Structure 1
């Protein structure tokens, strides 16, 4: 049985051959369809081959991006009905793909019946395998030829994204106003994108205090949702089962990074204040967040001596006595960041001044509106 990830049976394979190749075992045979995969959005755009043949398309166009005016003009000038094979990554979040679908639908509406749209789950549609599958869809739909984005003027998307990111007006010669408006929500100017401000530094360096001051300053400005992911609070609520081995500390920070990336994806501001002692780990979190928005690393560069002098919780004293194993700065390494966007010297700035300096930096780099 061939099942989806929820266990729903989609098809049955009658095994007629079994062979081994390069250490892997393969099987082949006739496949009998049982039911199509369930679709919870745009269900009317998930067609069978028979349904598509009834619409009489002549040419198919494999598309992964919105169709802008240059490509639209080409496709509608062919003189016959064109089937848009809308390729959607099977594992993509629907919220990430729906804007593209709405842009395709606008092109269909503008075409006065010359364009049709059908959505298909295609991984790597530009690969040879992906184009082979698209060719099968086109042939089964009754199309005589298949065009890809290489056959159409498709530089418009990159130009449009650049204009939107810079907060500039998109000319109607480039795309339809409705498409530009749709994509403006996907590619906002820097001040409209999600943002993670990630503090790192030794225990007692002042990360949490400055992070709280920054949160207050941002909330006072208004206009954005701000979430503080403090190291101790996350330990209590999200990672209470973890210890302080390197493996567990990395897992804890990875969880913080995942939550921060989700907040960033939804255009919020996440403020994170873990110790995060390892450079490679911080880089992994940066990569997670930058899939969706901005990542600003703030290094609170308080010296070990000063952190020990403060030692409000008595942690350093316990670590020196061997009561706390793998304690960062004493019995485990802290790797200072090589490329922090902001470095804070707590000997020169109090928490309020440090927070204000971060806000000023964010304004100067257009992450906040001045």
Structure 2
């Protein structure tokens, strides 16, 4: 019991954590929302091709507050990726992926992949036009894997084509398999955080400066200092989140696409097949490469590059506060490239959209491939010995 209280209440956090550190707690909040609303939706959903959309329409129109739970879950998926992407961007800003936090970073990268798999399988469950065709496009990518590609696709789909059997499998993946694995990694991620301690905007290890009692001189107890601060962040987040849920529940076509209100029809291909906005950057990279196999490799590589960051960054300092102009410019170009890929990934595959995607993809991969060079030769400041505010 003492160890549990020590981790929950007496955990020493750096005293200069800013608003960027809200997003870890917000990720847990949205995860709780997804689990609770998902359990409620599970009570009324029917995972068959004939009844999937009808069961959703029934809960939206006939079940008390069914519309609210469905919108909370649908908008929650988008907001989950918002807070996770910002959480990872903070790690890029302050070097939270560098030693001794490699395992912490890698576990977070694995959770990102699991979250994408969870979102993708959930996207298929309404069995609308976009759900069905997105399932066909994404599962076909696994066929490009040598030797095991065809058997793997058959294992995922459960059939030679996307069918009701695929819907059953994705339903089991979405409500049982992936949530359990995600919860396990959340627990492991938290253990890793408490083992190495939180990073901070200065990128300085507070454990290097201890007082007579063995506590960090620049640390404060997580409770009540940061629990109270997180309550403020939660309040701001809930205001924005619930504003979308009540005032724009379809998210201007980003949360719930108009095409997905049409029941799946294998005989009619949508004019423009696209994934949800949070997967659009990687889909844009896929479309940017003419060869399908190479495009799939580039798409998967764009995600796997994050796993290599702890060893690609050769800068002697962690935080962007003390890195030089090369690191700042490349991070800025990476930000522009990611947002650009997100936009063009949601647009039809026109000539200019594809051309723009190729430019943004080059900038995206340059951030990783050139990091060992510019991070090593870049000018940097000497960090202070104690935290600054």
The answer to whether TM tops 0.5 is: no
**Higher helix residue share:** 2
- Which one has the largest radius of gyration? 1
**Higher strand residue share:** 1
State the structure with bigger RCO (CA 8 A, min sep 6), 1 or 2.
2
